[in-house]
Chain A
Amino acid sequence: MNQRTIVVQRDVQADQKADAATERERLGRRGTLVVNLLSSPGAGKTTLLEATARHFAGRRSMAVLVGDLETDRDAKRLSPLVPVAQLTTGGACHLELSLVQRGLKALGDPEVDFLFIENVGNLVCPASHDLAEHLRVVLISTTEGDDKPGKYPKMFRTSQAMVITKLDLLPHVPFSVKAVTEDAHRIQPHLKVLANCALDGSGIASWCDFLEEQHQQQLATYHEPAGNR
């Protein structure tokens, strides 16, 4: 018998992270900004996407991959507005890159300005999976309490923006925008904080401006500046 220990020291997700980086670069090079939207169930991801699609209509192109445990209800709501593919996880708590790639193929790999991934409603598991996104956005609705960031640190630590939704309900619920912002900034000081109400459209323009700005900034790295050679 020969007993040996092989030292590895390797990230368990190294292969998936490398695949995601390759896919991110491929999409970025051709001008698609990939946005991964995460939240608890019912925070308003689909409603925000509907409002975004209306705002961008005729000016910016977008497609949506909708992750859902079983149903296709969210995909049905969005399909009159934008190209949508449904990613059914069959009960799994998060999306993985292979599902995203399958969804892209189902849409015919469209060359859009924005590809939104509506992740499964869950603030824990999706935080650990790179879906080739350029931008990770966590949504938090005014109805779910302002102590979420501290409870789900990884989600807020790995996101670049936090969108507070259902602002219209603020007078009726015990939720402080200031408290949630402080809690989130304690975990991720660079987190961009936005707030909106998709029902009456307030805040949607600044959310879309932020997306435009990210599109320009993040994808600029893929283009060689003119006169640089």
Chain B
Amino acid sequence: MHERSLIRSLLRQVEQIVAVEGGGKVTEIRVQVGDLSGVEPLLFQTAFDDMVPSVFSSDCRLALEIVPVTAVCSECEHQFEIVDFQFRCPECQTKSVQVIQGDEVTLISVSINSNNSIEGVAS
């Protein structure tokens, strides 16, 4: 269940961002999970629900988006989606393909609700 370790890294990153932004209540954390990332979305969500209350409020939402594996052929430069983990170019059949998306877990955005106005008036 390495999802817990990933959530730990995620929450640490969000904490740093909130600190830089001058605090506030985190309402949503948007994350992209690739099909080749080795992350099980359901376990990721469960680990998040379990761990988020210790760092942020429990009504902080995880918005999870699944990203299909996309590759580019190094011979003909054709860009395509990898289906069923077939790492082969459908155009020229070469196996020399490079994954360009779908193997990472990416923090996309953090939504913060703060009582402070943009001018920085203390609450």
Q: Which residues of B contact A188 (CB under 8 A)?
A: 87
Docked pose: A15 CA to B16 CA in angstroms: 12
CB within 8 Å of A: which B1-34 residues: 1-2, 5-6, 9-10, 12-13, 17, 21, 24, 27-28, 31
Q: Are A128 and B112 in contact (CB under 8 A)?
A: no
Q: What is the distance, in angstroms, from A160's C-beta to the closest C-beta of chain B?
A: 15
- Chain B CB within 8 A of A12 CB: yes
Q: Are A187 and B21 in contact (CB under 8 A)?
A: no
Q: Provided the pairs A6-B17, A12-B31, A154-B37 are in contact, do residues A94 and B5 lie with their beta carbons within 8 angstroms?
A: yes
Q: How many A-B Cβ pairs are below 8 Å?
A: 110
Q: Which residue of B lies closest to A151 (CB)?
A: B85
Q: Are A2 and B104 in contact (CB under 8 A)?
A: no
Q: Are B108 and A8 in contact (CB under 8 A)?
A: yes
Q: Which residues of A contact B118 (CB under 8 A)?
A: 2
Q: Are B110 and A6 in contact (CB under 8 A)?
A: yes
A92-105 interface bits toward B, Cβ cutoff 8 Å, 1 = contact, 0 = none: 11101000000000
Q: Which residues of A contact B106 (CB under 8 A)?
A: 9-12
Docked pose: A14 CA to B104 CA in angstroms: 10
B77-116 interface bits toward A, Cβ cutoff 8 Å, 1 = contact, 0 = none: 0000000011110000001100100011111111111111
CB within 8 Å of B: which A148-168 residues: 150, 153-155, 157
Q: Which residues of A contact B87 (CB under 8 A)?
A: 157, 186-189
Chain A residues bordering chain B, tally (CB within 8 A): 36
Please pick, from B10, B12, B113, the residue contacting A2 in the complex, using a CB distance under 8 A. B113
Q: Which residues of B contact A8 (CB under 8 A)?
A: 13, 17, 107-110
Q: Are B9 and A128 in contact (CB under 8 A)?
A: no
Q: Are A186 and B86 in contact (CB under 8 A)?
A: yes
- Chain B CB within 8 A of A3 CB: yes
Docked pose: A10 CA to B108 CA in angstroms: 7
Q: Are A1 and B113 in contact (CB under 8 A)?
A: yes
Give A residues with C-beta under 8 Å from B.
1-16, 92-94, 96, 124-129, 150, 153-155, 157, 185-189
**With A3-B27, A128-B6 already in contact, 9 other A-B pairs whose C-beta atoms are closer than 8 Å:** A2-B114, A5-B109, A5-B111, A8-B108, A12-B104, A14-B13, A94-B2, A153-B36, A186-B85
Give B residues with C-beta under 8 Å from A.
1-2, 5-6, 9-10, 12-13, 17, 21, 24, 27-28, 31, 36-39, 85-88, 95-96, 99, 103-118
Listed by A's residue number, 22 A-B pairs whose Cβ atoms lie within 8 Å are A2-B114, A2-B116, A2-B117, A4-B111, A6-B17, A7-B108, A9-B108, A12-B10, A12-B31, A96-B5, A125-B1, A126-B2, A127-B38, A128-B2, A128-B6, A128-B38, A129-B5, A154-B38, A157-B85, A157-B87, A185-B95, A188-B87
Top 3 A-B pairs, shortest CB-CB distance = A125-B2, A189-B95, A154-B38
